[in-house]
A and B are shown apart, each in its own frame.
Chain A
């Protein structure tokens, strides 16, 4: 156990990659982190699918389309500990602000009747994942073990959370580290 690195997978679903950028704000602490951690599926590695023995999955963003659902389920299946990272993962966040507008109206506004739209048509390529009727927080789709609030959570939040887990402690965030904004 002592020599085996902890496998961490990360993904951004209906998010803005802001949480991943904040994670990279760990800066030089990343050097210390990779002594204990190996990145599996992640935009940082470009690995496309989770290994079956991931320890920690960090999920940014909520669930807005069919692909998000598949990816989230893949993470749940392969990660021992699944973490909702940031406001969108926890409550849908900014993308969920479309939830009180019908999907048809959203698509029409963006691709048909919106200001400055040329050659209006709703994208319908088979490669495109279908949008869900509503944007959902992660916990409405799979079991989530921990939540890191913030928009984004600061690098200190990631550091405290991961170092607690790596040390075998129950993660605990001080008052200063818990912000919903």
Chain B
């Protein structure tokens, strides 16, 4: 007999070892997330995927599915929390969408759209963050980094390198590059590396490609992130 969990009243089958996120995605149920990508070890840091498992808040990307779980995902309360988390990400960095190449293709922006966020609510930090444009093909704009560690994990787990890391804690946390100078040009990052393409925001960009697709014709200009994500990540689970 198939094992199943219940998400928002719907029976979702799972196999032993699957997380709630994996079971949900395979069944076509979208749980909002930013730091999760099914290709890599879950990180559980962005907290957008927080669901209530038998009344208790858990990160769906790290929490193992188990029989007897009754889970709520899309509720006013959880989506309000998700909106507040997203707003905190927006005020912590410097996210000026009109001047960002990633606009329209940005998961952070798309999650905000999905949650119906129209303002940033909190006071802005307006932190001074650096831009590293030293690499011939790839640039880092630290203003837009949300510390999801997808580039860190992609470099280690997919590219077999170790280009990125997170340094510092709490408010001092920063993305750092593993090279003597700390600059991207002195690392062994290649433009074809997965790590160069995995960033969910506009923090890591491929140079000279930013406006190949005009604004208005980009991924999230007309499509919700839930549809796009399920099409992309549901497929990669089946592989």
Binding site for A on B (CB under 8 A): 90, 94-100, 103-104, 109, 112-113, 116, 118-121, 123-124, 126-129, 215, 221-222, 224
Contact = CB atoms under 8 A, between A and B. Distances in A.
A97 B100 CA distance: 12
A160 interface: no
Contacts of A146: 118
A91 B222 CA distance: 23
The majority secondary structure among interface residues of chain A is mixed
Contacts of A90: 118-120
A137 B222 CA distance: 27
Nearest to B95: A91
Contacts of A149: 118-119
Question: Most B CB atoms within 10 A — which of A92, A148, A175, A178?
Answer: A175
Interface string A75-100: 00000000010010011111011011
Given A96-B124, A100-B127, A181 B98 contact: yes
A99 B97 contact: no
Contact of B97 (A97, A137, A181): A181
Interface in A123-158: 134, 136-137, 139-140, 144, 146-149, 151
B118 A147 contact: yes
Contacts of B120: 90-91, 137, 139
B97 A87 contact: yes
19 contacts: A87-B96, A87-B98, A99-B124, A100-B94, A100-B126, A100-B127, A134-B126, A136-B124, A139-B121, A146-B118, A147-B118, A151-B98, A175-B222, A176-B222, A180-B98, A180-B112, A181-B97, A181-B98, A181-B215
